[in-house]
Amino acid sequence: MKPGGLRIETIRAKELESFFSDYVKQAASQQISPISQYRAISQSKNPYADDSDVGLLVAYSGELCVGYQGVLPGILRTPRGDHKVYWGTAAYVLPEFRKRMVAIQLIKKLVALKRDIVLTGFEKIVADVFKGLHFREVGPLEYITVRPDRLDFASFPFRRFYRLQKRWPALRKMSESALKLSRKYSYPVLRDAFHKSLSSRADKAIHGIKWRELNNVNPFCLNGSGASEKSPSFPREAAAINWMLDYPWIREGPPPTRPAYYFSESYNQFRNIVLDITDADGKSGGFVVLSLVVEKDESKLKVLDHHCIEENCATMFQLVCKQAARFKADVIELPLGFKEQAKLLPFASLVMKQEQRRYLCHPSSPDSPLAEAIGNLTLDLSDGDCAFT
């Protein structure tokens, strides 16, 4: 691209909703939208964003939007206090501009904001680009997945031997057909039996326990939960959790953004679930926030946030299991803290697996709060925009 042919506009987080409204007026001449309607509304209300904080970088060639880099202001908590960080979120460049260094220019603009930056949810090729621009590994996050489809032995042979399938197209087609049949006839029976057992165990474990489903998180539940003497982390206070609940980025139904937004903004089914444990006096003993996503006939239940006193941890886990059985979840994502409880699940050695999510960061300076915290960070499933999507 010729010098001066590309310009990058900086949109403040608090102005994202008005930016989207203005962008819609010229949408007929554009190929992509740099932010979805739901994200624009939500991110403009981010409780961690100050008036000066950036929320979006938009690359233009002339008047054509050719790419964008999302920015999500958040908080890093260390023993020294709370510090601002920028999470890199959804980034995209039009295919015909990918050889013109647009993505690189967006990343350089992001770094030029001189904020501590953290990224997650990226593909390997993207990670290589960021590492080439001096981003550093941090983490990884370790978490637990529970998948009933790992009990489907009928499909097991066809989920292996990938190299042979790649070499022999006929074998790949046969495997794809076998997997479809297994998914339709064998797996649902196994899944239903697994969740029936899960529900029965959960009902026995929480018998006599008072719990309820709420719309929001009570701020008093989190008092003292983010003590500064703990390991450095990216905290989510009640205000941030309730912001997510009140203004979700993903909703059910057809996507409203035109021209299309590259990343998901709607699923077949999407909902957040807040469960609260109470004692005899009605005082909260902890809560858990879950997300349920159904897309392409697969359902995922994920623990986004949880906080409880130690003696209620096992009960909290059983409440999660009850919801998984309620919705017949195909995938259950759990924080590593539930590992010991998960080991007691039916067929735990088969359905449970410990997995990892990579993180990259770019400290704003050698002595920034993020630079000092890198080796001791505590990561969570809800870090960055993962709780929203």
Tens digit of each residue's pLDDT (9 = 90 or more) over 119-173 = 998 888 888 889 999 999 998 999 999 999 888 876 655 555 555 555 656 656 6
Q: What is the bridge-based pairing of β-strands 116-120 and 81-93?
A: parallel
Would you state the structure tokens that stand for residue 334, as one six-digit string? 């759990």
Identify whether the C-beta of residue 272 lies closer than 8 Å to the C-beta of residue 248.
yes
Amino acid at 371: A
Residue 228: what pLDDT?
A: 41
CA distance 332 to 185: 21
CA distance 6 to 62: 7
Amino acid at 191: R
Going along the chain from its start, the domains and CATH numbers come out as 6-138 (3.40.630.30), 144-248+266-358+366-375 (3.40.630.30)
Would you state the structure tokens that stand for residue 329, as one six-digit string? 């979840």
Residue 156: what pLDDT?
A: 59
| Stretches in the chain below the pLDDT threshold 50 | 1, 3, 224-228
Residue 60: what pLDDT?
A: 97
Residue 3: what pLDDT?
A: 47
Identify whether the C-beta of residue 338 lies closer than 8 Å to the C-beta of residue 144.
yes
Residue 272 in 3-state DSSP? strand
